[in-house]
Structure 1
Amino acid sequence: MAYAIALKAAGGTDQFHRIEFDIPRPGPGEVTLRQTAIGLNFIDIYFRIGIYPWPVPRDLVTGSEAAGVIEAVGEGVSLRVGQRVAYTTPNGAYASHRTLSATQAVPLPDEISDDVAAAVMLKGLTAHYLIHHSFPVTPSDTVLFHAAAGGVGLLAGQWLAAKGVRAIGTAGGAAKCALARAHGYGEVIDYRVKDFVPEVMRLTDGLGVAAVYDSIGADTVLKSLEVLQPFGTLVSFGQSSGAPDNLRVSHLARASLRLTRPTLFHHTRVQGWLARASAEMFAMIASGAIKVEIAQRFPLAAVGSAHEALAGRQTTGSTILVP
């Protein structure tokens, strides 16, 4: 019997409960996976508390990245039973088994473990589009990355360093700052101790940065604008402190600034992007240029505790849920 951890209604972690179901059979163009590792992300919290609209009235299965082994394939599928794959979707990953379109399943190279794949499909591909598309970095750039010790931040810091980009990070507390420095950031500002605005301006000799990658939202968005160079770009890709609704278009007039609010799943809809970006990401990991920090593991049944740790900023790197 397969099972999932679903939400009865939007709200607290007490809304999680276990539901059981028969292992689904794949239809044409689909595969059924036995899942071995599931990633945890802030988007899961956004769905849980109702910031993002639910696609079903109740018993929503959240979770947006996972890895597993194919147990059955539908008609017209080139993937094979026993093959290891990973995927990222907006919801549905908090389960022991999953059926999905074969086009969403990315075959895993031998060098990439299931745990690593589950930790990077959403976070690593997010880092990919941030620095290659939202604001395509060049070696001459200096950028600021908030939440540098988080799952996306640690991957992005290493990727930026490999590209020769000067990356300044922000993190909360000495331990998280040290972790971010060990993952590619040249300088890291402890936002609990110092205001990042004067620190960034000091570190850049008053010039500011070419781009700010901001997943914090309400607490940081207006200050992020203050450290941008003329024609600089604010990449707002999350809202862990609340929606950045305090930002107005008129704020961009300060220095002819640019604003983008990208999401991963718009990128994955582009034909060929998922396969190409995944291959580039796996190659970076296999080469050692990017090391994946899996700092926490929880049983899937304890997903409520995992959510509370992530929301309370008590985690670093990536968190894995084990079915």
Structure 2
Amino acid sequence: MVQAICVHEIGGPDVMRWEKIDVAEPGPGEVRIHQTAIGLNFIDTYFRSGLYPAPNGTPFSPGNEGAGIVQTVGEGVSHLKPGDRVAYVGPLGAYAQERLVPADRLVVIPDGIDDKTAAGMMLKGMTAQYLLRQTFRVGPETTLLFHAAAGGVGLIAGQWAAHLGATVIGTAGSDDKIALAQAHGYQHMINYRTENFVERVKEITGGKGCDVVYDSVGHDTCPGSLDCLKPRGLWVSFGQSSGPIRDFNLALLAQKGSLFATRPTLFNYIASREDLEATAGELFDVVLKGIVKIEVNQEYRLADAAQAHRDLEGRKTTGTTVLVP
């Protein structure tokens, strides 16, 4: 028996219980890992609250991201062995001391990256990779706006985009968060609590607008994000921390400049083993070279996951947060 956070009914942070569970021996194509660290992400709150339905209903353990040590491998697994340090994104069930993971979802953590860093960067870091390198190919000619710049994805994206030569604009809700983002690649920061971010983007860009807006906030930043774009610019909606966007009117895209819009998710970008290895490989490369620094700013005991969720939803956290079993 091992300990895990279990959700028996959807709701607020208090529905998460610290319980004993059984973990089976790995079946064909599976690996059992002892987890050393687990990444905390906003998507965890979506499953807990019921905004996203858990694939297999309740009870379930939240969490899509973690790192640990291979204990045993199932039949047909040849690229991993007991003792390997590994990290992963998906499927649900990360909030546990030990768990089974499909072998094709695991990547070996390279020397030079510790387990807490790996656990906290896989989902956020690979999200930054697909946003900047695949959804829109950011380069020296790019002007971009990134909402929630001081969040986990935002701090990674700011460093990476600045390295790619882009003009990087961000939003945040406090002076401390603005200073943090400025230390991580953002040349221009906007305090959305005291400034109109649409007007400030127009000022910063000389009225031209941005090539791409990355928006994980949702309700509170729509349709303002569209007004920050150049004609034929791209709005990338990849989250909804302030609530979902309802009844979106496609005609707005025409009215505001023949804009493009997309709602991507990491899991489609790493669905194949080849895509997973390429995406993780590029992330590991920029971290090992020091281009992107992953800073674990908060650490909670896994048993205290409810408090971690309260702080995350209360926007009290910055950057990367990990849960330690």
TM-score, length basis structure 2? 0.97
SS at match of 1:61: coil
Q: Which runs of 5+ in 2 are unaligned?
A: none
Aligned AA for 2:19? I
1:311: Cα distance to partner?
0.3
Provide the aligned C-alpha RMSD in A: 1.0
| Residue of structure 1 in register with 2:22 after alignment | 22
Distance in 2, Cα, partners of 1:271 & 1:87: 12
Matches within 5 A, 1:99-248: 99-248=100-249
1:60: Cα distance to partner?
1.3
- Work out whether 1:64 is the aligned partner of 2:64: yes
Deviations 1:217-271 (A, max 9, x none): 0100200000100000000000001101253101101200000000011111134
Aligned AA for 2:110? P
Percent identity, aligned pairs only, is 50
| Residue of structure 2 in register with 1:32 after alignment | 32
> Is the contact between residue 218 and residue 246 of structure 1 (CA under 8 Å) also seen in structure 2?
no
Runs of 4+ with deviation above 6 angstroms: none
| Residue of structure 2 in register with 1:293 after alignment | 295
> Is the contact between residue 64 and residue 92 of structure 1 (CA under 8 Å) also seen in structure 2?
yes
Aligned AA for 2:277? A
> Is the contact between residue 105 and residue 273 of structure 2 (CA under 8 Å) also seen in structure 1?
no
Aligned AA for 2:175? A
1:21: Cα distance to partner?
2.4
Matches within 5 A, 1:32-51: 32-51=32-51
Distance in 1, Cα, partners of 2:57 & 2:220: 31
1:304: Cα distance to partner?
0.3
SS at match of 1:86: strand
SS at match of 1:213: strand
Matches within 5 A, 1:303-318: 303-318=305-320
> Is the contact between residue 222 and residue 247 of structure 1 (CA under 8 Å) also seen in structure 2?
no
Deviations 1:56-112 (A, max 9, x none): 332211101000000101122120100000000141100000111110010010111
Aligned AA for 1:26? P
Distance in 2, Cα, partners of 1:247 & 1:29: 41
Aligned length: 323
SS at match of 2:277: helix
TM-score, length basis structure 1? 0.98
Distance in 1, Cα, partners of 2:91 & 2:193: 32
